[in-house]
Structure 1
Amino acid sequence: MSAPAPAPAPAPVPNSRGVQRRLDILDAARALFTETGFRGATMAAIAGRAGVTHAGLLYHFASKEDVLEAVLTDARDRGRSIIAADERPGADHLDALEHLVAQNAGDPAWSRLFSVLLGESVALDHPLRERMAERYDSIGESLAGHLRTLRTEGGAWSDDEVAGVARVLMAVMDGLQFQQLTGARSAMSADFALVVEAVRRSL
Protein backbone atom coordinates (compact mmCIF):
# COMPACT_ATOMS: atom_id res chain seq x y z
CA MET A 1 0.00 0.00 0.00
CA SER A 2 1.51 3.29 -1.07
CA ALA A 3 1.96 6.16 1.33
CA PRO A 4 -0.66 8.92 1.10
CA ALA A 5 0.29 11.88 -1.05
CA PRO A 6 1.59 14.82 0.97
CA ALA A 7 -0.87 17.63 1.54
CA PRO A 8 -0.32 20.61 -0.76
CA ALA A 9 1.64 23.45 0.72
CA PRO A 10 -0.57 26.32 1.88
CA ALA A 11 -0.67 29.33 -0.40
CA PRO A 12 1.67 32.07 0.74
CA VAL A 13 -0.01 34.76 2.78
CA PRO A 14 0.65 38.22 1.34
CA ASN A 15 2.85 40.33 3.56
CA SER A 16 0.59 43.08 4.92
CA ARG A 17 3.37 45.65 4.73
CA GLY A 18 4.03 44.73 1.10
CA VAL A 19 0.34 44.94 0.25
CA GLN A 20 0.07 48.38 1.86
CA ARG A 21 3.21 49.57 0.09
CA ARG A 22 1.76 48.53 -3.25
CA LEU A 23 -1.46 50.42 -2.46
CA ASP A 24 0.59 53.49 -1.51
CA ILE A 25 2.42 53.30 -4.82
CA LEU A 26 -0.84 53.12 -6.76
CA ASP A 27 -2.29 56.05 -4.81
CA ALA A 28 0.83 58.07 -5.59
CA ALA A 29 0.72 57.11 -9.24
CA ARG A 30 -2.94 58.06 -9.57
CA ALA A 31 -2.21 61.47 -8.06
CA LEU A 32 0.79 62.09 -10.29
CA PHE A 33 -0.89 60.87 -13.47
CA THR A 34 -3.76 63.23 -12.68
CA GLU A 35 -1.44 66.19 -12.02
CA THR A 36 1.13 65.72 -14.78
CA GLY A 37 -0.25 63.01 -17.05
CA PHE A 38 1.44 59.71 -17.76
CA ARG A 39 4.14 61.48 -19.76
CA GLY A 40 5.00 63.92 -17.00
CA ALA A 41 5.19 61.41 -14.18
CA THR A 42 8.47 59.65 -13.55
CA MET A 43 9.25 56.50 -11.62
CA ALA A 44 11.39 58.59 -9.27
CA ALA A 45 8.49 60.96 -8.62
CA ILE A 46 6.11 58.06 -8.01
CA ALA A 47 8.55 56.49 -5.55
CA GLY A 48 9.03 59.82 -3.76
CA ARG A 49 5.30 60.47 -3.48
CA ALA A 50 4.72 56.93 -2.18
CA GLY A 51 7.57 57.19 0.34
CA VAL A 52 9.48 54.21 -1.04
CA THR A 53 12.93 53.82 -2.53
CA HIS A 54 13.38 53.44 -6.26
CA ALA A 55 14.41 49.83 -5.62
CA GLY A 56 11.26 49.34 -3.54
CA LEU A 57 9.15 50.62 -6.42
CA LEU A 58 10.87 48.30 -8.89
CA TYR A 59 10.17 45.37 -6.57
CA HIS A 60 6.46 45.88 -7.23
CA PHE A 61 6.50 47.35 -10.75
CA ALA A 62 9.18 46.90 -13.39
CA SER A 63 8.19 49.95 -15.44
CA LYS A 64 5.94 52.99 -15.53
CA GLU A 65 3.74 51.16 -18.03
CA ASP A 66 3.25 48.42 -15.42
CA VAL A 67 2.20 51.03 -12.88
CA LEU A 68 -0.28 52.49 -15.36
CA GLU A 69 -1.72 49.05 -16.08
CA ALA A 70 -2.24 48.44 -12.36
CA VAL A 71 -3.93 51.82 -11.93
CA LEU A 72 -6.31 51.07 -14.79
CA THR A 73 -6.98 47.53 -13.56
CA ASP A 74 -8.34 49.03 -10.35
CA ALA A 75 -11.11 50.65 -12.38
CA ARG A 76 -11.53 48.25 -15.28
CA ASP A 77 -15.17 47.52 -14.40
CA ARG A 78 -16.21 51.04 -15.32
CA GLY A 79 -17.97 50.93 -18.66
CA ARG A 80 -18.09 47.14 -18.75
CA SER A 81 -21.65 47.15 -17.43
CA ILE A 82 -22.72 48.50 -20.82
CA ILE A 83 -21.07 45.65 -22.73
CA ALA A 84 -22.10 43.09 -20.11
CA ALA A 85 -25.70 44.14 -20.64
CA ASP A 86 -25.57 42.15 -23.89
CA GLU A 87 -25.61 39.02 -21.74
CA ARG A 88 -28.62 40.00 -19.60
CA PRO A 89 -32.06 39.48 -21.16
CA GLY A 90 -34.11 42.64 -20.97
CA ALA A 91 -31.14 44.77 -19.84
CA ASP A 92 -31.17 48.37 -20.96
CA HIS A 93 -27.86 49.73 -22.22
CA LEU A 94 -29.07 53.32 -21.97
CA ASP A 95 -29.85 52.83 -18.29
CA ALA A 96 -26.36 51.35 -17.84
CA LEU A 97 -24.85 54.37 -19.60
CA GLU A 98 -26.79 56.77 -17.37
CA HIS A 99 -25.60 54.84 -14.31
CA LEU A 100 -21.99 55.19 -15.50
CA VAL A 101 -22.42 58.94 -15.96
CA ALA A 102 -23.84 59.29 -12.44
CA GLN A 103 -20.98 57.19 -11.06
CA ASN A 104 -18.40 59.38 -12.76
CA ALA A 105 -20.17 62.58 -11.68
CA GLY A 106 -19.88 61.43 -8.07
CA ASP A 107 -16.19 60.53 -8.38
CA PRO A 108 -14.35 63.62 -9.66
CA ALA A 109 -10.95 62.15 -8.79
CA TRP A 110 -11.49 59.26 -11.19
CA SER A 111 -13.05 61.55 -13.81
CA ARG A 112 -10.07 63.87 -13.67
CA LEU A 113 -7.59 61.01 -14.03
CA PHE A 114 -9.50 59.49 -16.94
CA SER A 115 -9.85 62.84 -18.70
CA VAL A 116 -6.14 63.63 -18.41
CA LEU A 117 -5.19 60.21 -19.77
CA LEU A 118 -7.80 60.45 -22.53
CA GLY A 119 -6.40 63.80 -23.63
CA GLU A 120 -2.86 62.42 -23.69
CA SER A 121 -3.88 59.31 -25.61
CA VAL A 122 -4.39 61.21 -28.86
CA ALA A 123 -0.58 61.15 -29.27
CA LEU A 124 0.30 58.51 -31.84
CA ASP A 125 2.86 56.82 -29.60
CA HIS A 126 0.93 56.94 -26.33
CA PRO A 127 0.58 53.53 -24.62
CA LEU A 128 -3.15 54.10 -24.08
CA ARG A 129 -4.03 55.11 -27.63
CA GLU A 130 -5.16 51.65 -28.78
CA ARG A 131 -6.92 50.96 -25.48
CA MET A 132 -8.96 54.15 -25.69
CA ALA A 133 -9.91 53.39 -29.30
CA GLU A 134 -10.94 49.88 -28.28
CA ARG A 135 -13.05 51.34 -25.46
CA TYR A 136 -14.96 53.58 -27.83
CA ASP A 137 -15.35 50.88 -30.48
CA SER A 138 -16.51 48.10 -28.14
CA ILE A 139 -18.92 50.22 -26.11
CA GLY A 140 -20.16 51.94 -29.26
CA GLU A 141 -20.86 48.66 -31.04
CA SER A 142 -22.63 47.21 -28.01
CA LEU A 143 -24.72 50.34 -27.53
CA ALA A 144 -25.60 50.59 -31.23
CA GLY A 145 -26.75 46.97 -31.24
CA HIS A 146 -29.09 47.72 -28.36
CA LEU A 147 -30.43 50.90 -29.98
CA ARG A 148 -31.30 48.92 -33.10
CA THR A 149 -33.49 46.62 -31.00
CA LEU A 150 -35.37 49.67 -29.69
CA ARG A 151 -36.22 51.05 -33.13
CA THR A 152 -39.88 51.01 -33.99
CA GLU A 153 -40.90 49.40 -37.26
CA GLY A 154 -40.11 51.77 -40.09
CA GLY A 155 -37.83 53.86 -37.89
CA ALA A 156 -36.19 56.81 -39.57
CA TRP A 157 -32.59 55.91 -38.74
CA SER A 158 -30.51 53.45 -40.72
CA ASP A 159 -28.11 51.02 -39.05
CA ASP A 160 -25.17 53.32 -39.83
CA GLU A 161 -27.02 56.31 -38.39
CA VAL A 162 -27.81 54.36 -35.22
CA ALA A 163 -24.09 53.60 -34.88
CA GLY A 164 -23.46 57.33 -35.20
CA VAL A 165 -25.98 58.07 -32.46
CA ALA A 166 -24.13 55.62 -30.17
CA ARG A 167 -20.87 57.48 -30.80
CA VAL A 168 -22.58 60.81 -30.15
CA LEU A 169 -23.88 59.53 -26.81
CA MET A 170 -20.34 58.63 -25.74
CA ALA A 171 -19.07 62.01 -26.94
CA VAL A 172 -21.76 63.79 -24.91
CA MET A 173 -20.87 61.70 -21.86
CA ASP A 174 -17.17 62.56 -22.04
CA GLY A 175 -17.85 66.16 -23.04
CA LEU A 176 -20.13 66.78 -20.06
CA GLN A 177 -17.45 65.26 -17.85
CA PHE A 178 -14.88 67.72 -19.20
CA GLN A 179 -17.30 70.61 -18.60
CA GLN A 180 -17.88 69.58 -15.00
CA LEU A 181 -14.15 69.27 -14.34
CA THR A 182 -13.47 72.80 -15.56
CA GLY A 183 -15.86 74.15 -12.94
CA ALA A 184 -18.36 75.29 -15.57
CA ARG A 185 -22.06 75.22 -14.74
CA SER A 186 -22.94 71.58 -15.07
CA ALA A 187 -25.70 69.15 -14.18
CA MET A 188 -23.90 66.18 -15.69
CA SER A 189 -26.36 63.42 -14.86
CA ALA A 190 -29.48 65.49 -15.53
CA ASP A 191 -28.12 66.87 -18.80
CA PHE A 192 -27.16 63.42 -20.02
CA ALA A 193 -30.60 62.10 -19.07
CA LEU A 194 -32.12 64.72 -21.38
CA VAL A 195 -30.07 63.42 -24.31
CA VAL A 196 -30.95 59.81 -23.52
CA GLU A 197 -34.65 60.66 -23.37
CA ALA A 198 -34.40 62.44 -26.73
CA VAL A 199 -32.78 59.37 -28.25
CA ARG A 200 -35.45 57.08 -26.81
CA ARG A 201 -38.22 59.23 -28.29
CA SER A 202 -36.55 59.40 -31.68
CA LEU A 203 -36.35 55.62 -31.93
Structure 2
Amino acid sequence: MSGDIILYTNPYSRGRTVRWLLEEIGVPYHVEVLDYATTMKEPEYLAINPMGKVPALKHGDAIVTETAAICTYLADAFPDAQIAPAPGTPERAAYFRWLFFGAGPLEAAGVNQALGVEVKPEQERMAGYGSLARVTQALDKTLSTQPYLTGDRFTAADVYVGASLGWLMGFKIIPGTPTLAAYVGKLRQRPAAVKAAALDDALVPAKA
Protein backbone atom coordinates (compact mmCIF):
# COMPACT_ATOMS: atom_id res chain seq x y z
CA MET A 1 0.00 0.00 0.00
CA SER A 2 1.35 3.39 -0.96
CA GLY A 3 0.86 6.65 0.88
CA ASP A 4 2.55 8.84 3.42
CA ILE A 5 2.88 7.57 6.98
CA ILE A 6 2.00 9.88 9.86
CA LEU A 7 2.65 8.83 13.45
CA TYR A 8 0.65 10.74 16.04
CA THR A 9 2.53 10.44 19.29
CA ASN A 10 3.97 11.95 22.44
CA PRO A 11 7.41 11.11 23.87
CA TYR A 12 5.72 10.00 27.11
CA SER A 13 3.49 7.48 25.35
CA ARG A 14 3.38 4.04 23.78
CA GLY A 15 4.07 5.86 20.54
CA ARG A 16 7.71 5.15 21.34
CA THR A 17 7.01 1.51 20.54
CA VAL A 18 5.57 2.36 17.13
CA ARG A 19 8.49 4.63 16.29
CA TRP A 20 10.87 1.79 17.16
CA LEU A 21 9.03 -0.52 14.77
CA LEU A 22 9.04 2.10 12.02
CA GLU A 23 12.79 2.39 12.40
CA GLU A 24 13.13 -1.39 12.22
CA ILE A 25 11.10 -1.42 9.01
CA GLY A 26 13.12 1.46 7.59
CA VAL A 27 10.38 3.41 5.82
CA PRO A 28 10.05 7.21 5.87
CA TYR A 29 7.42 8.64 8.18
CA HIS A 30 6.27 11.97 9.57
CA VAL A 31 5.69 12.59 13.28
CA GLU A 32 2.92 14.73 14.73
CA VAL A 33 3.61 15.37 18.43
CA LEU A 34 0.43 15.97 20.42
CA ASP A 35 -0.19 17.24 23.93
CA TYR A 36 -2.34 15.22 26.32
CA ALA A 37 -4.39 18.13 27.62
CA THR A 38 -4.82 20.13 24.41
CA THR A 39 -4.20 18.83 20.89
CA MET A 40 -5.18 15.23 21.66
CA LYS A 41 -8.63 16.48 22.61
CA GLU A 42 -9.18 18.83 19.67
CA PRO A 43 -11.72 17.94 16.94
CA GLU A 44 -9.03 17.53 14.29
CA TYR A 45 -7.35 14.71 16.18
CA LEU A 46 -10.57 13.21 17.57
CA ALA A 47 -11.50 12.58 13.96
CA ILE A 48 -8.39 10.37 13.82
CA ASN A 49 -8.87 8.72 17.22
CA PRO A 50 -12.12 9.41 19.08
CA MET A 51 -10.44 8.14 22.26
CA GLY A 52 -8.23 11.24 22.25
CA LYS A 53 -5.13 9.16 22.94
CA VAL A 54 -1.90 8.28 21.19
CA PRO A 55 -0.42 6.55 19.34
CA ALA A 56 -2.34 6.54 16.10
CA LEU A 57 -1.06 5.89 12.62
CA LYS A 58 -2.27 7.23 9.28
CA HIS A 59 -1.00 5.45 6.18
CA GLY A 60 -2.56 6.90 3.07
CA ASP A 61 -6.28 6.53 3.71
CA ALA A 62 -5.84 3.89 6.42
CA ILE A 63 -6.06 4.84 10.08
CA VAL A 64 -4.96 2.46 12.84
CA THR A 65 -5.08 2.96 16.60
CA GLU A 66 -4.00 0.69 19.50
CA THR A 67 -0.30 -0.06 19.65
CA ALA A 68 -0.49 -3.80 19.05
CA ALA A 69 -2.80 -3.26 16.07
CA ILE A 70 -0.45 -0.64 14.63
CA CYS A 71 2.52 -2.98 14.97
CA THR A 72 0.61 -5.83 13.33
CA TYR A 73 -0.56 -3.58 10.50
CA LEU A 74 2.88 -2.18 9.76
CA ALA A 75 4.55 -5.58 9.73
CA ASP A 76 2.02 -6.79 7.14
CA ALA A 77 2.01 -3.55 5.13
CA PHE A 78 5.77 -3.77 4.58
CA PRO A 79 6.53 -7.47 4.02
CA ASP A 80 9.97 -6.71 2.58
CA ALA A 81 11.09 -5.86 6.11
CA GLN A 82 10.50 -9.52 7.01
CA ILE A 83 9.48 -8.60 10.53
CA ALA A 84 6.48 -10.95 10.62
CA PRO A 85 6.44 -14.73 10.01
CA ALA A 86 4.68 -16.08 6.94
CA PRO A 87 0.92 -16.81 7.27
CA GLY A 88 -0.05 -20.37 8.03
CA THR A 89 3.19 -21.27 9.83
CA PRO A 90 3.81 -22.28 13.46
CA GLU A 91 5.91 -19.13 13.82
CA ARG A 92 2.95 -17.02 12.71
CA ALA A 93 0.79 -18.71 15.34
CA ALA A 94 3.35 -17.87 18.05
CA TYR A 95 3.62 -14.34 16.65
CA PHE A 96 -0.09 -13.68 17.08
CA ARG A 97 -0.14 -15.42 20.43
CA TRP A 98 2.50 -13.17 21.93
CA LEU A 99 1.32 -9.95 20.29
CA PHE A 100 -2.07 -10.41 21.88
CA PHE A 101 -0.62 -11.75 25.10
CA GLY A 102 1.19 -8.42 25.33
CA ALA A 103 -1.95 -6.44 24.58
CA GLY A 104 -4.07 -8.55 26.93
CA PRO A 105 -2.57 -10.31 29.96
CA LEU A 106 0.66 -8.32 30.17
CA GLU A 107 -1.03 -4.94 29.76
CA ALA A 108 -3.89 -5.75 32.15
CA ALA A 109 -1.65 -7.29 34.81
CA GLY A 110 0.76 -4.37 34.63
CA VAL A 111 -1.90 -1.69 34.84
CA ASN A 112 -3.67 -3.39 37.71
CA GLN A 113 -0.40 -3.70 39.60
CA ALA A 114 0.39 -0.02 39.00
CA LEU A 115 -3.06 0.98 40.24
CA GLY A 116 -2.85 -1.23 43.30
CA VAL A 117 -5.68 -3.49 42.16
CA GLU A 118 -5.33 -6.82 43.91
CA VAL A 119 -6.83 -9.88 42.25
CA LYS A 120 -7.71 -12.40 44.94
CA PRO A 121 -7.12 -16.11 44.19
CA GLU A 122 -10.84 -16.73 43.93
CA GLN A 123 -11.11 -13.91 41.37
CA GLU A 124 -8.39 -15.16 39.03
CA ARG A 125 -10.94 -16.89 36.78
CA MET A 126 -12.49 -13.50 36.07
CA ALA A 127 -9.17 -11.86 35.23
CA GLY A 128 -8.01 -12.72 31.73
CA TYR A 129 -4.43 -12.88 32.92
CA GLY A 130 -5.05 -14.96 36.06
CA SER A 131 -2.26 -13.47 38.12
CA LEU A 132 0.80 -11.30 37.62
CA ALA A 133 3.00 -14.25 38.54
CA ARG A 134 1.49 -16.38 35.78
CA VAL A 135 2.11 -13.63 33.24
CA THR A 136 5.79 -13.24 34.06
CA GLN A 137 6.27 -17.00 34.36
CA ALA A 138 4.80 -17.58 30.90
CA LEU A 139 7.19 -15.09 29.33
CA ASP A 140 10.17 -16.31 31.33
CA LYS A 141 9.51 -19.94 30.40
CA THR A 142 9.39 -19.15 26.68
CA LEU A 143 12.38 -16.83 26.61
CA SER A 144 14.53 -19.15 28.70
CA THR A 145 14.52 -21.65 25.82
CA GLN A 146 14.73 -19.39 22.76
CA PRO A 147 16.12 -15.92 21.93
CA TYR A 148 12.86 -14.41 20.65
CA LEU A 149 9.16 -14.95 21.17
CA THR A 150 8.62 -16.87 17.93
CA GLY A 151 11.91 -18.76 18.05
CA ASP A 152 15.21 -17.73 16.52
CA ARG A 153 13.81 -14.79 14.56
CA PHE A 154 13.18 -11.24 15.76
CA THR A 155 9.68 -10.00 14.89
CA ALA A 156 7.26 -7.17 15.58
CA ALA A 157 6.00 -9.22 18.54
CA ASP A 158 9.38 -8.67 20.20
CA VAL A 159 9.11 -4.93 19.59
CA TYR A 160 5.68 -4.74 21.20
CA VAL A 161 6.20 -7.14 24.11
CA GLY A 162 9.81 -6.08 24.65
CA ALA A 163 8.87 -2.40 24.85
CA SER A 164 6.05 -3.15 27.29
CA LEU A 165 8.27 -5.32 29.46
CA GLY A 166 11.01 -2.71 29.48
CA TRP A 167 8.62 -0.02 30.64
CA LEU A 168 6.93 -2.15 33.30
CA MET A 169 10.18 -3.51 34.67
CA GLY A 170 11.91 -0.14 34.49
CA PHE A 171 9.30 1.38 36.76
CA LYS A 172 9.31 -1.75 38.95
CA ILE A 173 5.63 -2.30 38.23
CA ILE A 174 6.24 -5.96 37.55
CA PRO A 175 9.12 -8.05 38.88
CA GLY A 176 11.88 -8.82 36.45
CA THR A 177 13.78 -12.06 36.15
CA PRO A 178 17.32 -12.58 34.86
CA THR A 179 15.87 -14.02 31.64
CA LEU A 180 13.49 -11.12 31.05
CA ALA A 181 16.15 -8.55 31.94
CA ALA A 182 18.57 -10.10 29.45
CA TYR A 183 15.86 -10.17 26.77
CA VAL A 184 14.96 -6.50 27.24
CA GLY A 185 18.62 -5.51 27.39
CA LYS A 186 19.34 -7.30 24.11
CA LEU A 187 16.43 -5.61 22.35
CA ARG A 188 17.43 -2.15 23.56
CA GLN A 189 20.81 -2.56 21.89
CA ARG A 190 19.32 -2.95 18.43
CA PRO A 191 20.31 0.01 16.20
CA ALA A 192 16.68 0.84 15.39
CA ALA A 193 15.75 0.82 19.09
CA VAL A 194 18.69 3.09 19.94
CA LYS A 195 17.81 5.52 17.14
CA ALA A 196 14.10 5.59 17.99
CA ALA A 197 14.80 6.20 21.69
CA ALA A 198 17.14 9.08 20.85
CA LEU A 199 14.57 10.69 18.56
CA ASP A 200 11.86 10.50 21.22
CA ASP A 201 14.18 11.59 24.02
CA ALA A 202 14.98 14.71 21.97
CA LEU A 203 11.29 15.64 22.12
CA VAL A 204 11.20 15.62 25.92
CA PRO A 205 11.24 19.22 27.22
CA ALA A 206 14.44 20.14 29.00
CA LYS A 207 14.07 20.64 32.76
CA ALA A 208 14.65 24.17 33.98
Is TM > 0.5 for Structure 1 vs Structure 2? no
Q: Which structure shows the bigger proportion of residues in helix conformation? A: 1
Q: Which of 1 and 2 has greater Rg?
A: 1
Q: Which has the higher contact order (CA 8 A, sep 6+)?
A: 2
Q: Give the TM-score of the pair, scaled to structure 2.
A: 0.28
Q: Which structure shows the bigger proportion of residues in strand conformation? A: 2
